[in-house]
Every structure is written in C-alpha cells, then in structure tokens.
C-alpha cells in the first residue's frame, strides 16, 4: 500500500462518513472562528484606535505638561495657562494651543440634560482649524468670546441643534449658555466615540469650566524649519518646577500604549473564552475520533489482514484528520472575520460607539488559527490513530462490541494529572510566584490539567452515578428508561468523555456563580456592618463628581454627616499605593472601619490612617512616620494617626485637606456617602438630597438599599456576561453529546432492530434515546457543578479579603444548571432519537 493508496482510503473514508465529517469540521471551525475573531477584533481595533489617536496628536510637535514622579492612576496636575504667553515668545514656536478638558453637560431646548451615547459629557477648549489636536470643524466656524460655542456634530444632529441656536450647558461652575456657531468632530468622524462635547475658546473655557486659570497641557506647533531639539531646550529653560516638555512622538507612543492596554484587556478576555471553546472542541473531536475508529476496527483490521502495515493505518487516519483540520481552519478564518464583525456590531448595538474598523489579518492570526484548527484535530487523533495501528488483523473476526473495560493505567495517569492540576492551581493562586502573568499562566495550566484529569477520572464514577441518575427514569419509564440507563452505564469511558465538554462549561459557570455569590455576600456584609451611610452618590460615567455636590449635601440640615471619597497615588518605600482621601469627622460617623488603635476624628494634615496589613508589613504603629512620594513628585512625611482592620475603603486614608495640600489636580470625588440626622424621616431626607443634587445631573443618588441592589445587579450582570460568553462552548458541548449519541445509535443498529422486532414502538425507542442523552448531560452537569464549586471556592479564597472575604453558594444556580442540563440533553437527543426511530427494522436486523 503506497502513500497514494493511503490518500485514497482517507478520501473515501471522509466521503463515506460525510455526516460525522461535517460534524467534526463544524466543531473545529467554531473553535477556530472564535480564536481568529478575537485576534482580528483586537488587531483591528488597535489599528483603528491607534490611527485615530495618532491623527489626533499628529500635528503636535511638543507638549508642555506637569511631570509625574511615577506612573499612577490619578490625573496629572494642571498647569498655569499663563505659561502659554511665554511659550509663544520662544523662537521657532508657531502655534501654542492650551488644552482643557472638563465636565460639561449639554442641555436641550427644554433645559433637560442630553444623554450621551455611551461616553462621558465633556467640555473642550478649542482654537479652530489652527489647532493641533485633530478636532475638525464640520459646519460654521470656531467659537470666539464668551457668548459662542460649538458642539460635536453627532450630538447636534441627534438633539436637533442648528447653527444660530442658543445652547445651554452645565459645568462644575454652573449653568451657562452661548450661541452655536459651528459643529466639530474627531478627525473624520462626526462624534467623539460616544461622548458629547461642547467646545469654547480658551479664555471662555477656563472661566466657564471653573479651572481656576489652569489648563491640562499646552501643545506646540513649530514654525517651518525650526530646530525641534533647540526649541525643546529653550522651553525647558523657562518651565517652572514639576513641569516637563515632551515631543509629539512621545505623546503618540503614550496614547498608543494606553490604547494597547485597553485593547489587550479586552482582547485577552475574548481570547480566554476563545481558548475555552477550542479546548472543549478538542474534547469532542477526540471523542468522535475514538468512537468512529472503534467502529471501524473491523474495517481497519481487514486492511491489516490484506497487508497494510500499522504505520499505514495510522497514516491513513492522520491524513484524514489533517484534511479535515485544514478545511476547518480555512473555514474558521473566514468565520473568525464574521465573528469579529458580529462582536463589534453587538458592542455598538449596546452603545459602545466604536468606529468602523478595517479588518486586520496579521500573520500571527493565521498561525493561531492553524495551531488551534490543525493542532486540535491532530492531537485529538493521536491516541486513536496509535490504537488503530496496533489492531491485530484477527480483530476483523472479533464479535460485537461488548462492555468496555476501564483501563487501570489510564485512571492512574488521570489521577496524577488531576493532582498536579490542583497543586499548580493552588500554587498559582495562593503563593503567586513571580509576576502576575506567570502565576496566572500557572493557575491557568493547572485548571486545564484539572479539567483533563477529572474528565479522565470521572469515568470511574460514570457507571454508578449514571445508574443513580437513571434510577428514577428507569422506574418512571419502564423499559425505555431501563435501556437508557443501561446504555449510558455500559460504556463509562465514552459517557464521561462525551459529558466532559458540558462538564467544563458547567464547571466554569458554577465557579463564576460561587465567586459572584461570595462577592455579593462580602459586599452585603460590608453594607451591613462597615458602612452605616444612608445615601451613596456616584457618577455612573466614572468621570468623578464635582466637589460642589458634596458641599451642597454637607450643607443640608437633614444630613448628620457627609464625606466625599477621593483618590491619589503615592509611593511608599518604592511601591505604588492608592490613597483614599476623606473628611475624617464625617467618616467616623459613616463608616465603621474596625479601628484597632489611634483615632479617626481630627485626622490632621500630614496624618494617615493605615490598615493592619501595611501596618504589619512596614512595622508601623500610631505615632510612627512614613515617607511618601506623591504622584506629582511632591515628597512628604505622614504620621500614623490610627490603624484599622476593615479594608473596604483601601489600606491608606488621609484627609481631604492633606490631599489638597499636595495635589493641584482637578478635584473629582469617586463617590459621596451621607447619613440622615436623627429624627429626620427617610422621605424628608430623600426630598432634601434630591433637591440638593438637582443641579448635578451626573450625580446618581442611591439609598443604601438601592445601592445594594445596583451592586448586586452589577454582579449578576457580570455573571450573565460570563455565561453568555460560555454559551458557545456549551452549544458545542451539546453538539458533542448529540454526535456521540448518534454514533452510539448507529453502533447499536442491530440491537435497535431487535427491539423493534420484538415489539418496541417508535415512541418508546425515541424516549429511550432521549433519556440516555438526559442522563449523560445530567452526569456532565453534576460533575461540573462539583468541580466548579471547588474552583469557585479556591478563587474566592485566593482574592484579597477586601474584595471577597465570605463564601456563599447559590442553590438557585444549581437548580437552573440542572434544569438546563436536562433541556440540553433533550435538544442533543433530537436528531439521534429521530434517526433511531426511523431505522428500517429489516435492514437493522440484517446489519452485520
């Protein structure tokens, strides 16, 4: 038998089993599509956003801004706008454009707030087409003077504003109005990625936005032929302390890396789910190959008997798999482009406002597609092909398929893999050696090994557990139920591997559910014990609230105590930490931080409250001093005024006064908490708070109960999102059960013929196949729930206590998953049961 004959046999075999070939190809294609889609989307978005940001800063030759001591999360301090005049006098400078971006909310003609399409509500400074920032005038002209403004064209079109209309807007400094003299957009687009923008000339912006004579940065365009290095040096000479000048290239690189950061988080998330899908596909493909090769044993043995070598048999099977994997990979690449478009479409439907991206196919996308498509297929066929090549020719005369024996060796390997997986997972999550990426990878590989191991070991419990699941079914449905139960139990290895795909999907959902429940329980515990506030005010856009909101609330006699919470980054002994800033007197009333020593009230300037963890790490107690370097480069010394045990508000707390003394950054409150004064009813309090925040549309006031509800909703939303992303893998898992079952039905053709001959009717036969599927899927779901709960507990224990400190389970989720498993089984049985009941009795009996 030459290579040609191998190819011929492979080709014939694919053609003869076209149904299952399509099923395998579909499974591989789905896995490849998701992987390719994730890569294409991430690459395309990176290119599009990168291009956009590059264009936004492409005309900027130099930028002057405040310096940072280290890279932190807080915004840079603004700089004095007056520097602009000095910069204009430097030789070689052609354009000086101060830039200022603040909160500004456009109102419609009735004075109602105009909602954005997903982005924040922003106010810009704008000097017209001479500007360097990539803002383009769409209609009319640039605003000049305090009575004129422009808005972004997308918002103007949406609200129905036209040039000449009077437009009102709301800023931190109050409500203003001006005549609309034009519309703007970001480079080619009509809008700013879903934000609404109102733009003013620079002096007007400084005044109306209330920036206190400051701007965020000053961009500089050079005159033709000017020496950039010389100009940069000249600017450095006149800059005040803690101010820097950087080139346009640096600025572009920074914005590109910001974009990359965001997109890799997004892309990594998608990729994780893509690989889960590919992993589950591998399970199913492996199972299908195992079964089909088992069914072809006689045929393969016959080939061996007529003179084919074991190697040729193996080569035939591998080349079958190769062709299949190749076709699926190519289809998957096209599918992936579709998937990326679909995800983009879904996000835009949800109001993300992503620009229309071009489709970027990088070489590594093709490599990933081939690794997943061909790799998964070839790996899946490796063991079955080896098994097939060792078939003795006499197997051609072997009788029917009987009960399959469990191989001890396989179980031992499975148990070892499981144990190694658990150890890796625990080391990865709890010891966390090395950088985040390496321990996350360790934990990930551990989880993978755990899944593989459990899938293998679960075959030992498959027979007893499925018998137990099948018991009520056998009682209820008599013979069809008995047959369903016994057919599942007769091939425990097949049962466990066909249930494994569902097991993994269910395990991930259950793990997420346990984690979410624990998160919720922890959160409820905090609200019950640590926070005694009645009102929580937040900004849904995460832009931060104007300090005026907190001031307005603090002035209410109905409230006993009000504190905003702000943040700033600082380095302590070389490590970057997040500091929270609060009003200590109010904080003491509103929060119970489990104070161990010292005092909260009267927390003075340059004093700090620290959590027991850093107190222990640094060996500091009340009265000790700590050297800190604030993000903007100012150095300071803080004295420890108290040590507390509840990390809800972070590990480091300073007073608002301390924050303001070290930072000029525009004050934005993350959130505000307040408590009713004694004797004030909830109704009276609600009314007063609503009135006090009426002028601040960005402020979202929630009562303690509402806040709790909204946080729970967010957790549920997260759980839902994870479940939806796992949906594809669950669909594939159901498909896997359907294929396995159909192959099983095919295998039992004679048995089915006999049953029909001795009087089983079609309905009973369908019922039997249906319950067989339900038992398999229920088994998969059960193992998945057990494994997932274990993983969820591990994950909940691994995250720091300030996020999850309680363990909780949701029985509801288990019920839902079990109901779903039964439904999945019923769906999976649709085709196989139809096929079984439509089998020609006579032909079935005559089948060899």
Partner 1 sequence: MNTPLPSPAPTGVDSPTAASGAVDASKIYGIGDAQVKALDNVTVSFEAGQFTAIMGPSGSGKSTLLHCLAGLDTLTSGATFIGGTYLASLNDKELTELRRTDVGFIFQAFNLIPTLTAEENIKLPMMLGGETGDAAWIDQVVSAVKLDGRLKHRPSELSGGQQQRVAVARALASRPKIIFADEPTGNLDSETGAEILDFMRRAVREFGQTIVMVTHDPGAASYADRVVFVGDGKIVGDLPDPTADQIIDHMKHADS
SS3 string, 637-703, reads EEEEEEEECCHHHCCEEEEHHHHHHHCCCCCCECEEEEEECCCCCHHHHHHHHHHHCCCCCCCEEEE
CB of 401 to partner 1, least distance (A): 9
CB of 499 to partner 1, least distance (A): 18
CB of 841 to partner 1, least distance (A): 5
Give dist(CA 260, CA 34) in Å, integer: 21
**Residue nearer to partner 1 on the CB measure, 229 or 758:** 758
CB of 487 to partner 1, least distance (A): 6
Contact predicate 824/835, CB 8 Å: no
**Residue nearer to partner 1 on the CB measure, 311 or 478:** 478
Contact predicate 594/644, CB 8 Å: yes
CA 705 to centroid of chain Cα atoms: 27
How far apart, in Å, are the Cα atoms of 826 and each of 723, 762, 832? 20, 17, 10
**Residue nearer to partner 1 on the CB measure, 237 or 400:** 400
Residue by residue, DSSP assigns 151-215 as EEHHHHHHHT--TT-EEEEEETTEEEEEEEEEEEEETTSSSBTTBEEEEE-HHHHHHHTT-TTEE
**Residue nearer to partner 1 on the CB measure, 20 or 770:** 770
**Residue nearer to partner 1 on the CB measure, 354 or 779:** 779
CB of 822 to partner 1, least distance (A): 22
| Neighbour-count burial of 4, counting CB atoms closer than 10 A to its CB (0-12 exposed, 13-18 middle, 19+ buried) | exposed
Contact predicate 414/453, CB 8 Å: yes
Residue 30's H or E segment, with its range, is: helix 18-57
Give dist(CA 769, CA 826) in Å, integer: 9
Contact predicate 732/280, CB 8 Å: yes
CB of 12 to partner 1, least distance (A): 25
CB of 407 to partner 1, least distance (A): 19
Give dist(CA 711, CA 803) in Å, integer: 13
Give dist(CA 715, CA 697) in Å, integer: 25
Q: How many residues does the chain have?
A: 848
Give dist(CA 546, CA 669) in Å, integer: 6
Q: What is the CA radius of gyration of the chain?
A: 33
CB atoms within 10 A of CB 597: 14
**Residue nearer to partner 1 on the CB measure, 154 or 484:** 484
652 forms bridges with which residues in the sheet?
610
**Residue nearer to partner 1 on the CB measure, 477 or 523:** 477
CB of 743 to partner 1, least distance (A): 17
**Residue nearer to partner 1 on the CB measure, 594 or 751:** 751
CA 160 to centroid of chain Cα atoms: 36
**Residue nearer to partner 1 on the CB measure, 819 or 842:** 842
> Dihedral through CA 106, CA 112, CA 118, CA 121, nearest 10?
30
What is residue 306's DSSP assignment? T
**Residue nearer to partner 1 on the CB measure, 663 or 749:** 749
Give dist(CA 19, CA 535) in Å, integer: 62
Question: Which residues 6+ apart lie within 8 Å of 812 measured at CB?
Answer: none
CB of 403 to partner 1, least distance (A): 7
**Residue nearer to partner 1 on the CB measure, 486 or 599:** 486
CB of 483 to partner 1, least distance (A): 6
CB of 446 to partner 1, least distance (A): 38
Sign (positive or negative) of CA dihedral 345, 346, 351, 354? negative
CB of 302 to partner 1, least distance (A): 20
CB of 405 to partner 1, least distance (A): 12
| Neighbour-count burial of 513, counting CB atoms closer than 10 A to its CB (0-12 exposed, 13-18 middle, 19+ buried) | buried
**Residue nearer to partner 1 on the CB measure, 315 or 756:** 756
Give dist(CA 782, CA 776) in Å, integer: 10
CB of 761 to partner 1, least distance (A): 4
What is residue 636's DSSP assignment? E
CB of 19 to partner 1, least distance (A): 25
- Dihedrals φ, ψ of 552, to 5°? -65, -35
**Residue nearer to partner 1 on the CB measure, 378 or 482:** 482
Q: Which residues are near partner 1 by CB under 8 A? A: 400, 402-403, 478-479, 482-483, 486-487, 489-490, 750-751, 754-762, 764, 841-842, 845
**Residue nearer to partner 1 on the CB measure, 65 or 770:** 770
CB of 402 to partner 1, least distance (A): 5
Sign (positive or negative) of CA dihedral 411, 415, 418, 420? negative
């Amino acid at each position: 038998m030459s290579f040609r004959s191998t190819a011929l046999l492979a080709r014939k075999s694919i053609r003869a089993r076209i149904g299952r070939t399509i099923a395998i190809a579909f499974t591989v294609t789905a896995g490849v599509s998701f992987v390719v889609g994730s890569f294409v989307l991430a690459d395309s978005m990176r290119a599009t956003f990168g291009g956009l940001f590059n264009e936004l800063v492409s005309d900027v030759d130099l930028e002057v801004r405040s310096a940072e001591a280290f890279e932190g999360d807080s915004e840079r301090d603004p700089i004095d706008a007056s520097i602009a005049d000095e910069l204009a006098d430097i030789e070689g400078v052609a354009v000086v454009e101060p830039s200022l971006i603040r909160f500004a909310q456009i109102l419609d003609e009735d004075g109602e707030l105009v909602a954005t399409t997903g982005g924040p509500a922003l106010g810009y400074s704008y000097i017209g087409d001479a500007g360097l920032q990539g803002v383009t005038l769409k209609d009319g002209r640039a605003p000049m003077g305090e009575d004129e403004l422009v808005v972004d064209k997308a918002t103007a079109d949406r609200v129905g504003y036209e040039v000449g209309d009077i437009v009102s807007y709301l800023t931190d400094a109050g409500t203003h109005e001006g005549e609309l003299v034009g519309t703007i957009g970001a480079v080619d687009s009509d809008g700013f990625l879903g934000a609404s923008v109102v733009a003013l000339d620079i002096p007007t912006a400084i005044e109306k936005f209330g920036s206190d004579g400051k701007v965020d940065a000053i961009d500089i365009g050079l005159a033709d032929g000017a020496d950039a290095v010389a100009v940069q040096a000249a600017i450095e000479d006149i800059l005040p302390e803690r101010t820097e000048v950087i080139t346009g290239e640096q600025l572009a690189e920074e914005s590109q890396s910001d974009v990359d950061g965001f997109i890799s988080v997004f892309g990594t998330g998608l990729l994780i789910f893509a690989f889960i899908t590919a992993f589950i596909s591998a399970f199913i493909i492996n199972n299908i190959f195992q079964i089909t090769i088992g069914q072809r044993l006689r045929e393969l043995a016959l080939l061996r008997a007529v003179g084919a070598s074991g190697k040729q048999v193996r080569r035939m099977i591998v080349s079958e798999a190769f062709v299949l994997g190749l076709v699926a990979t190519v289809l998957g690449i096209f599918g992936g482009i579709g998937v990326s478009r679909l995800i983009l479409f879904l996000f835009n439907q949800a109001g993300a406002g992503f620009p229309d991206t071009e489709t970027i196919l990088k070489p590594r996308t093709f490599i990933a597609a081939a690794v997943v498509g061909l790799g998964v297929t070839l790996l899946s066929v490796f063991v079955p092909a080896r098994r097939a090549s060792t078939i003795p020719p006499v197997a051609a005369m072997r009788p029917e398929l009987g009960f399959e024996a469990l191989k001890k060796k396989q179980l031992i390997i499975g148990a070892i893999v499981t144990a190694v997986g658990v150890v890796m997972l625990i080391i990865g999550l709890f010891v966390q050696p090395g950088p985040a990426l390496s321990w996350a990878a360790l934990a990930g590989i551990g989880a993978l090994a755990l899944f593989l191991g459990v899938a293998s070991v679960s075959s030992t419990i498959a027979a007893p557990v499925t018998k137990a699941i099948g018991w009520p079914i056998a009682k209820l449905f008599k013979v069809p139920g008995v047959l369903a139960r016994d057919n599942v139990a007769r091939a425990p290895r097949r049962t466990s591997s066909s249930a494994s795909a569902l097991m993994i999907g269910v395990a991930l959902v259950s793990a997420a559910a346990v984690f979410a429940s624990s998160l919720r329980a922890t959160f409820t515990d905090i609200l019950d014990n640590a926070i005694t506030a009645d009102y929580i005010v937040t900004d849904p856009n995460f832009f931060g609230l104007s300090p005026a909101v907190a001031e307005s609330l603090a002035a209410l006699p109905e409230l006993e105590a009000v504190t905003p919470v702000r943040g700033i980054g600082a380095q302590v002994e070389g490590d970057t930490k997040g500091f929270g800033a609060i009003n200590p007197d109010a904080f003491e009333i509103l929060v119970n931080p489990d104070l161990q020593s010292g005092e909260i009230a009267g927390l003075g300037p340059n004093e700090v409250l620290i959590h027991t963890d850093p107190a222990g790490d640094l060996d500091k107690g009340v009265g000790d001093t700590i050297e800190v370097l604030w993000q903007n480069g100012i150095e300071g010394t803080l004295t420890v005024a108290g040590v507390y045990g509840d990390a809800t508000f972070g590990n480091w707390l300073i007073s608002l006064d301390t924050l303001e003394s070290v930072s000029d950054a525009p004050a934005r409150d993350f959130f505000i908490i307040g408590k009713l004064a004694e004797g004030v009813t909830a109704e009276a309090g609600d009314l007063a708070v609503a009135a006090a925040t009426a002028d601040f549309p960005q402020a979202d006031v929630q009562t303690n109960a509402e806040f709790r509800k909204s946080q729970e909703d967010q957790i549920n939303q997260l759980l839902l999102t994870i479940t939806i992303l796992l949906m594809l893998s669950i669909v594939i898992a159901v498909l896997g059960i359907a294929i396995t079952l159909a192959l099983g039905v095919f295998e039992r053709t004679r048995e089915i013929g006999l049953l029909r001959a001795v009087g089983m009717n079609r309905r009973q036969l369908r019922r039997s196949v249906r319950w067989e599927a339900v038992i398999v899927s229920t088994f998969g779901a059960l193992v998945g729930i057990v494994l997932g709960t274990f993983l969820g507990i591990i994950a909940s224990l691994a995250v720091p206590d300030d996020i999850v400190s309680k363990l909780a389970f949701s029985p509801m989720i288990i019920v839902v998953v079990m109901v779903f498993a039964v439904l999945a089984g019923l769906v999976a049985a649709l085709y196989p049961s139809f096929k079984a009941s439509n089998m020609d009795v006579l032909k079935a009996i005559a089948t060899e």
